[in-house]
Amino acid sequence: ASRAFCRASREPRPIGAMAEQTRSHGGLWPAIRLVERSVVAMGIVAIVSCILWGVATRYVLHTPSPWISEVAAIAFCWSSLFGGALLYDTNGHPRMYEPTAIASAALRRLTLAAGGLVEAAVLALLAWYSLKQTYINLHNPTSILRLSVGGVYYAPLAWFALSSLARLASGARQWI
């Protein structure tokens, strides 16, 4: 099993689902994780429901619903980005600090700081472009449902906010 270096205790810890079980569950983070999980679950239910409804209307009722692809695409965008924020918070994917498990303490701290700066810069760049696209597309409606296309770009902004909070919490736990 893949293991990451626990910076605070200098002992290896499992990543992914096991990491969340070992983490303390106090404060605001359980509520944030609940929001993330709820959005992901609702998005997956919406995607599956849309596909099933689309198949039923096309092949059973012989009158295809034109709005299915729009709803499924928006649900996919929101569920994938909130799922990414959830993985980001629970260490469900490889991180840049894993190779530093065997390095010296000074090199490990330097690498962690540099990796944190790179992650923060990427998240900030994503938030800037998402905000820009939200503003540009705020008054552009989708082709069938006439929803604001800018609403799709709110998902990366929400993902940025949740990922940044998770990263700040992770960094605070790392340096304390």
% of the chain surpassing 70 pLDDT: 69
Nearest to 3 by CA among 103, 98, 109: 98
Distance of CA 138 to the CA centre of its chain: 23
Q: Name the token pair of 38.
A: 């709820």
Q: Which residue has the higher pLDDT, 20 or 63?
A: 63
Supply the pTM of this predicted model: 0.67
Q: What is the mean pLDDT of residues 108-124?
A: 79
Does residue 53 come out as left (phi exceeding 0), alpha (psi in the -120 to 50 range) or beta? alpha
Nearest to 76 by CA among 64, 68, 88, 65: 68
Confidence of residue 17 (pLDDT cuts 50, 70, 90): very low
**The residue type at 46:** A
Confidence of residue 62 (pLDDT cuts 50, 70, 90): very high
Q: What is the mean pLDDT of residues 75-97?
A: 75
Q: Is 50 exceeded by the pLDDT of residue 22?
A: no
Q: Is 90 exceeded by the pLDDT of residue 122?
A: no
Residue 155 is predicted with a pLDDT of 77
Helix (H, G, I), strand (E, B) or coil at 13: strand
Please say whether the beta carbons of 154 and 137 come within 8 A: no
Helix (H, G, I), strand (E, B) or coil at 16: coil
